[in-house]
Amino acid sequence: MTTQIGPGTGEPPRPPLPPALSEPPPPRVNYLNVAYGVKSWLLTTDHKRIALLYLASVTLMFFLGGAFAVLIRLELVTPAGDLVQSETYNKLFTMHGIIMVFFFLIPSIPAVLGNFLIPIMIGARDLAFPRLNLLSWYIYVFGAAFTVYALVSGGVDTGWTFYAPYSTTYSNTHVIAAGLGIFINGFSSILTGLNFIVTIHRMRAPGLTWFRLPLFVWAHYATSLIFVLGTPVIAITLLTVVLERALHLGIYDPRLGGDPILFQHLFWFYSHPAVYIMILPAMGVVSELVSCFSRKRIFGYPVVAMSSLAIAVIGFLVWGHHMFVSGQSTYAGLIFSFLSFLVAIPSAIKVFNWTATLYKGSVSWDTPMLYAIGFVGLFTIGGLTGLFLASLGLDVHVTDTYFVVAHFHYIMVGGAIMGYLGGIHFWWPKITGRLYPEMWARVAAVIVFAGFNLTFFPQFILGYLGMPRRYHAYPEEFQVLNVMSSAGASILGLGYLLPMIYLVWSMRYGPKASANPWQAKGLEWQTASPPITENFERQPVVPEEAYQYAPESEARVV
Amino acid sequence: MSSSEHIVSPVVYVGVFLALMALTGLTVFASTVDLGMWNTPVALLIAVTKAVLVVLFFMHLKYSSRLASLAVGAALLWLLLLIAGVVADYLSRGWVGSPGT
Amino acid sequence: MGAELPLFPVQASTMAGRVDALYAFLITVSVFFGLLIAVTLVSFAIRYRRRSRDERPQPIEGSVALEVAWSAIPLGIVMVIFLWGADLFFAMARVPPAPMEVYVVGKRWMWKTQHLGGQREINELHVPVGVPVKLTMTSEDVIHSFFVPAFRMKKDVVPGRYATAWFQATRAGTYHLFCAEYCGTKHSGMIGSVTVMEPAAFQAWLAGGATGTSLAAAGEKLFQDLACITCHRSDSEGRGPRLEGVFGQPVTLASGERVVADEAYVRESIVNPTAKVVAGFQPVMPTYQGLVNEEGLMQLVAYVKSLGGAATVGPGAALASPAPAAASPAPPPRPKGQGR
Amino acid sequence: MSSVADAAAHGAERHHPDLVHHFESLPAQKEAATLGMWVFIAQEVMFFGGLFAAYTIYRHLYFHAFVQSSRHLNLPLGAINTAVLICSSLTMAMGVHASALGRRRATVAWLLLTVALGSVFLGIKAVEYKDKFEHHLVPGESFQAEELHLEGPAARPAQIFYSLYFAMTGLHAAHMVVGIPIILTIAWMAHRGRFSPEYHTPVEMTGLYWHFVDIIWIFLFPLLYLIGRHH
């Protein structure tokens, strides 16, 4: 794809870690203590500091979105709509969706871990456009402020999907403010993706060829493609909704001959790939974790790398599977169903390769690995239930029911958040220079896994029984499963609070971390914990393949 | 990475400019002639030609790295995917025989 | 309240069993692969657990044969699921011949149904066992979705156009009717019931609810009240096309295109008359948008339909629905179900 | 994009003052900026793409109304504006050319001429918009289709045409409104002698943006103004 710098692939094997790079003496200054004060953070162009700004802001949004989820689950404990009014309930699930999707899940891994790690992983001093990176964060904050304004001024009740004509004509809530918030936030995503693409193309260290890149970087490259090519479409779509409300343009208005289904096409053209924005980076994290904690190169590295690109590309062609019963033509449904089944294959390939990586490995059960194994399990369930929804005749029954709710939470919460938490734990020593308490972390990981399944598995059954989503009140026969789900949610909530507590605690009291506490491979472990502002004392050179845990000469092909 | 920069002669710019003006005239003229079903394709063809001229010469794509072309190609491909997917729905509506299918 | 924990909804339509069969197949596939992954993953994690701090396992590059196998086998399986699901979907989309017709209007937050015999219901729908029922649906405001879990049937009801769906109930009983597309404040209150009755009981119900004016008759009255009759004359002398025998037939438009005069075409021709003008006529008809509500439009459609046309109409109404296609009130007691 | 020197932060080595600390060399930095700009343009294509998709569908569904509505747009003004924008693309290309040769005054002159032409375009656009307001062709409550010789029902899709017309040309104009101050800033920097044959990336990037805006108009013009003119 681009001209290569440095040595090619056919060179003699080298010792796994060149001693000069393996344990640099801990530098007196690092990116955290190089400067103090609010200004040194708010005007920083250091990608690592910007990553921490994102970490703080997405965490805030996560707990805000989580608070809405708590209220939703509380309301659903009883069949009657008794805790809050219908209007309020509708606003709760809308704000939960908007905040979690646009302000937590989409930026979480790319803007926090990706921002922090991509330059280090490729041996660069920063992203290609550091000030643009800071601008992305400000745009994010500005967009979030709009959305929070919509929230405090009375809320929005359209659902995060903003379907016309409800959003354009009938809702009398703050659709314009929320729509503008998401519109603005979109540019944050676009600029982040642009920055990653240019950085990965142009700033790799000498010797770091495409097929030596960590899979985390491959996943973020694929994600960035979606950021850049998909996000603008949701931006313009929400802008048309805002204009239709504010100026009475009539693009989706059936009274003028406009077609509300066109809105759905444009909306899902981005919003389905957006699911891959959430899951691809998590897959990248899991590839790193599985490799490090079995001390083996990922089984079938090139296939796993390419499957990320395949998911990103095919993922753009399946949006119509959200619209099988919408009035989209039957034959269009046929095409979209077929393509949706195709996109299942690269996902399956990844799962099989991760599993095979453990074979004859040296598997440790540290917390990040627990999250990785949890991810593979939950993602498998999420992916397999995706087949139910991609299947035309079955989707008719389960679409817009709790089956869909359960499915996408398995992907987004079971998948993306497990990956995010695994990654946060894995790179925590690198980010903060401190170790977290391992025992607490394992307990939390198990609680999250158990709570998650208890929350969302019953929803599959609820959905097949026919409980529609976004219902404030429901028939009594659905109560038992709803109570189970709410009970699980309280466990899950506890599981999310624990890391919040011990990770913050560890920043001050945790033991100091060495440069490479996991004995992992990858450039980020060859620099100090925490790294210096320029990331490396000297320009690193990459002489070997990724994840070279043992000399290449020993490798065998099964 | 190519470090040297290609300096395009102003003669080329003026030539492209004249071609663009001529094509603008042509497209206005073509729109007044009844070409049957070909009016729209002709208008689009002329627009594409103009765009290609601008991209290649004014925007120096002809002299830029392959990556820039890749970005342009990806954008066009994705635009086509968007339009093709939406159009596929509208064109096949009602094929099954009842309204709304 | 739920002492027992239901896992599957009741099967009350011809589709329910077919959908459940695919569901069962998918569950089997999912359990198999889910267990395969889980067991392999956990047993590897235990079997190859790290035994010493500096352990360095032998590297394994990968395997082309395995990659091909675990791409091709899942591909084969999902293609089976795809074809199975598609087959089912087309069966759901193709309305069987000679259905009983019901017209449905969704409106925040209620369902209004009309039978050909003129019986109207709100948030309820009564249908007989064993007869295919075709729903022609639209919305007066936002998008709704007509969802009957027991029938495994769901269709979005979109304003400004008609949606078609059908089902054939197999079991008497009362089943949930839900709105499945979020439609605002009382979305979860837009629920009702579908009552499936034995044919005799259904006849009795129809007779009890008869208003004396069939849907087509109501449409005919509207046709006269709106003065449609002055142009659409039965003697072919009017400024508009003659409507007798048009329904369900192909129509040649002024543009040279040919379209089938189905429900959607008739509706469009009333609210947006110049969109598809019949060849040989001037686009002089004014719009009736706003003058007739969706229920009225459906009555007009039913009237045009009753004027005859393709085979889909006349026999269908006569066979499947005990209600008369045209004006006169129904003679209720008639043995049902001579559908085939 | 990366123009101001923060190379001072970056110690002992001697660099070109415009080379930021994390790049190896000026050409590498320029390559990155160029790729970044092209990726940005790809993003812009998709941004307009949503509207082009909507346009395609409604033109297909309501061709008659689109023809009638399009004929009411002011063709001479549209054609003149197309010419004006092509001229501004030429002047922009000449400005980039001058900056690559290090001709400071010529650069400033070409850039200012570009701004002038861009302003003429926006002025003409404003005249057209005003005309539409006066004839009640702005979508919304006061939309009146009688002007278009469209009777009742076909007037409704005409409103969709005008919605798309205003959305597409408005978005395009917004891009020009953003572009003009950028060009003015660049012209000011050029005037201050900030650019040289080695380093004039900002001028080139601005040029790429401006040409892209021109290309959008190259498509908008036939799609909006030239439908069914032969009828």
Instruction: Considering only residues D80 and C246, tell me which one the structure prediction assigns the higher pLDDT.
Output: D80
Q: At what angle do helices A301-314 and A330-358 cross, to 10 degrees?
A: 160
Report the share of chain A in percent with pLDDT over 70.
94
DSSP string computed for C229-247: GGTS-TTS-SSS---TTTB
The C-alpha atoms of residue D43 and residue A310 are separated, in whole angstroms, by 20
Give the CATH number for residue A294: 1.20.210.10
Tally of domains in chain C: 1
Measured in residues, chain D has a length of 231
How far apart CA D46 and CA D50 sit, in angstroms, is 7
What is the identity of the amino acid at C323?
A: A
Q: What pLDDT shows up at residue A555?
A: 60
- Asked whether residue C314 is assigned to any structural domain, the reply reads yes
Among A33-37, A81-85, A427-431, C336-340, the minimum mean pLDDT is found in C336-340
C58/A556 CB distance under 8 A: yes
pLDDT bin (cut points 50, 70, 90) of residue A120 is very high
Helix (H, G, I), strand (E, B) or coil at D5: coil
Q: A38: which DSSP letter?
A: H
Name the band, by pLDDT with cuts 50, 70 and 90, for residue D154: low
Confidence of residue C259 (pLDDT cuts 50, 70, 90): confident
Q: Which of C97, C126, C108, C106 is nearest to C197 (CA)?
A: C126
Do residue B75 and residue A229 have CB atoms under 8 angstroms apart?
A: yes
Q: How far is A128 from chain D (nearest CA, A)?
A: 7
Q: How far is C333 from chain D (nearest CA, A)?
A: 45
Please determine, for residue A12, whether its predicted confidence score (pLDDT) is greater than 60.
no
In a domain, C277, yes or no: yes
What CATH number does residue C313 fall under?
1.10.760.10
Edge-to-edge strand ranges of the sheet holding C144-148 = C124-128, C192-197, C173-179, C144-148, C153-157
Given the DSSP bridges, would you call strands C163-168 and C132-139 parallel, antiparallel or unpaired? antiparallel
Alpha-carbon span A167 to A173, nearest angstrom: 9
Contacts of B53 in chain D (CB under 8 A): none
Q: What average pLDDT does chain A have?
A: 92
Tokens of A415: 């998948």
pLDDT of residue A552: 65
* Contact state of D167 with A132 under an 8 Å Cβ cutoff: no
CB < 8 Å to B90, chain C: none
Q: Which residues of chain A have a CB within 8 Å of the CB of C141?
A: 165, 170
Which of C150-164, C310-324, D135-149 is modeled with the greatest confidence?
A: C150-164
Would you say the C-alpha torsion A241, A243, A246, A247 has a positive or negative sign? negative
Q: What are phi and psi of C258, to 5 degrees?
A: -120, 130
C147: helix, strand or coil: strand
Residue A483: which of A82, A73, A67 has the closest Cα? A73
**B residues 41..60 contacting A (CB < 8 A):** none
Put simply, the chain B residues between 15 and 74 with a CB less than 8 A from any chain C CB are: none
**Residue of A537, A551, A532, A500 lying closest to A28 (CA atoms):** A532
Q: Which residues contact B70 (CB under 8 A, 6 or more apart)?
A: A1
CA distance C46 to A365: 9
Q: Would the CA dihedral through A405, A406, A407, A409 be positive or negative?
A: positive
Please give the structure tokens belonging to residue A281.
Answer: 């980076």
Instruction: Answer yes or no: is A526 within a domain.
Output: no
Residues of C in contact with B94 (CB under 8 A): 262, 264
Residues paired with residue C138 on neighbouring β-strands, in sequence order: C105
Q: How far apart are CA C102 and CA C113, in angstroms?
A: 7
- Two tokens, residue B70: 């890749």
Touching partners of C (3+ C-beta pairs < 8 Å):
A, B, D
A460 vs A556, residue with greater confidence: A460
Which range of residues forms the domain containing residue A361?
A: 32-513
Report helix, strand or coil for B33: coil
Strand C144-148 and strand C153-157: the pairing is: antiparallel
Helix (H) or strand (E) run with residue A457 in it: helix A438-465
Could you tell me which residues are beta bridge partners of residue A405?
none
Q: What is the pLDDT of residue D27?
A: 84
Who wins on pLDDT, D188 or C274? D188
pLDDT digits (tens, 9 = 90+) for C208-222: 877 778 888 888 888
State which residues form the domain around C232: 215-320
Question: CB under 8 Å to C67, separation ≥6 — which residues?
Answer: A300, A303, A349, A353
Residue C340 has pLDDT above 80, yes or no: no
A12: in domain: no
pLDDT in tens, A409-456: 999 999 999 999 999 999 999 999 999 999 999 999 999 999 999 999
Nearest to A354 by CA among A497, A120, A547: A547
How far off is chain D from A137, nearest CA to CA, in Å? 17
A374 within 8 A of A421, measured Cβ to Cβ: no
- What is the model's pLDDT at position C233? 80
Helix (H, G, I), strand (E, B) or coil at C259: strand
The arithmetic mean of pLDDT across residues C243-268, rounded, is 83
Residue B47 has what pLDDT?
A: 96
pLDDT in tens, A258-296: 899 999 999 999 999 999 999 999 999 999 999 999 999
Question: B23: which 2 tokens?
Answer: 């094509």
Query: What are D124's two structure tokens?
Result: 């003409």
Average pLDDT in the A198-205 region?
A: 95
Is the pLDDT score of A76 beyond 60? Answer: yes
Indicate the pLDDT class of residue A17, thresholds 50, 70 and 90: very low
Spatial distance between the Cα atoms of C10 and C152, rounded to a whole number of angstroms:
10
Rounded to the nearest angstrom, the minimum Cα separation between D175 and chain A is 14
Chain D neighbours, 3+ Cβ pairs < 8 A: A, B, C
Say if residue C156's pLDDT is above 50.
yes
Q: Is the pLDDT of residue C336 over 60?
A: no
Supply A186's token pair: 């979109």
Is C13 among the domain residues? Answer: no
* Helices and strands (H, E) in chain A, number of each type: 18, 0
pLDDT score of A19 more than 60: no
Q: Closest Cα of chain B to D215: distance in Å?
A: 6
Read off the pTM: 0.90
Q: Which of C126, C89, C325, D208 is nearest to A324 (CA)?
A: C89
Cis peptide before A165 (omega within 30 of 0): yes
Nearest to A435 by CA among A363, A492, A514, A531: A514
Collapsing DSSP states into helix, strand and coil, what is residue A512?
Answer: strand
Nearest CA in chain A to D59: A258
**D151 in C contact zone (CB under 8 Å):** yes
Strands of the sheet with C100-107, listed across from one edge: C120-122, C110-115, C100-107, C132-139, C163-168
Neighbours of A409 (CB within 10 A): 21
Could you tell me if D231 and D67 are in contact, meaning their C-beta atoms sit under 8 angstroms apart? yes
One-letter-per-residue 3-state SS of A395-446: HHHHCCEHHHHHHHHHHHHHHHHHHHHHHHHHHHHHHHCECCCHHHHHHHHH
CA distance D226 to D203: 34
Please, are residues A107 and A140 in contact by the beta-carbon 8 Å criterion? yes
CA nearest to A204, candidates D15, B60, D31: D31
**pLDDT > 90? residue A4:** no
Q: Among all residues of chain A, which has the CA nearest to that of C11?
A: A465
Please give, rounded to a whole number of angstroms, the shortest distance from the CA of B20 to a CA of chain D: 7
Mutation choice for D interface testing from A29, A127, A135, A198 by most D CBs within 10 A: A198
Whether the pLDDT of residue C12 is over 60: the answer is yes
DSSP state of A511: P
Give CA separation, A345 vs A350, B55, C30, in Å. 9, 38, 14
Lowest-confidence pick of B2-16, B17-31, B38-52, C4-18: B2-16
Q: Quick one: pLDDT at residue A553?
A: 65
| Greater model confidence, B4 or A498 | A498
- Structure tokens given for A194: 């642009």
Crossing angle of helices D152-191 and D104-134, in 10° steps, is 160
Q: Angle CA(A74)–CA(A79)–CA(A85) in degrees, nearest 5?
A: 65
What number of other Cβ atoms are within 10 A of residue A85's Cβ? 12
Instruction: Name the superfamily (CATH) of residues D22-225.
Output: Cytochrome c oxidase, subunit III, four-helix bundle (1.20.120.80)
Q: What are φ and ψ of residue D103, in 5° steps?
A: -90, 100
Q: Tell me which residue of D128, D46, A394 sits closest to C15, measured CA to CA.
A: A394
Q: Are A336 and A320 in contact (CB under 8 A)?
A: yes
Tell me which chains share at least 3 CB pairs under 8 Å with chain B.
Answer: A, C, D
D89-122 pLDDT, tens digit per residue, is 999 999 999 999 999 999 999 999 999 999 999 9
Annotated domain spans of chain D:
22-225
Question: Which whole number is the average pLDDT over A40-45?
Answer: 94
Cα of C172 to nearest chain D Cα, Å: 44
Total number of domains constituting chain A: 1
Q: Residue A21, class by beta-carbon neighbours within 10 Å (0-12 exposed, 13-18 middle, 19+ buried)?
A: middle
Q: Do B89 and A225 touch (CB under 8 A)?
A: no
Strand C250-252 vs strand C192-197: parallel, antiparallel, or unpaired? Answer: unpaired
Average pLDDT taken over every residue of chain D: 88
Q: What are the tens digits of pLDDT across the range A223-243?
A: 999 999 999 999 999 999 999
Give me the sign of the Cα torsion angle B38, D228, D126, D40. Answer: negative
Chain B residues touching A225 at Cβ < 8 A: 74
The reported pLDDT for the residue numbered A3 is 37
Contacts of C147 in chain A (CB under 8 A): 400, 466, 468
In chain C, % helix, strand, coil (3-state, to 5) comes to 35, 20, 40
Number of A–D residue contacts, CB under 8 Å: 116
Contact check, Cβ <8 Å, C164/B100: yes
Q: Is the peptide bond before A530 cis (omega within 30 degrees of 0)?
A: yes
Residues of B in contact with C134 (CB under 8 A): 98
Q: How many CB atoms are closer than 10 A to CB A246?
A: 13
Choice between D158 and C79, residue whose per-residue pLDDT is larger: C79
| Listed residue (C127, C62, C148, C115) closest to C325, CA to CA | C115
Close Cβ partners of B88 (under 8 Å, ≥ 6 residues apart): A329, A331, A332, A335
**Cβ-nearest to A233 among B67, B70, B82:** B82
Give me C212's structure tokens. Answer: 């004396």
**D151: which chain C residues are within 8 Å (Cβ-Cβ)?**
274, 283, 286
- Reported as a single tens digit per residue, the pLDDT across C227-252 is 888 888 877 777 888 888 888 888 88
**Distance separating alpha carbons of residues C89 and A350, to the nearest angstrom:** 30
Compare B76 and C287 and report the one with higher pLDDT. B76
CB distance C164–B99 less than 8 Å? yes
Phi-psi region of B60 (alpha: psi -120 to 50; beta: other; left: phi over 0): left
* Residue A192 contacts residue A199 (beta carbons within 8 Å): no
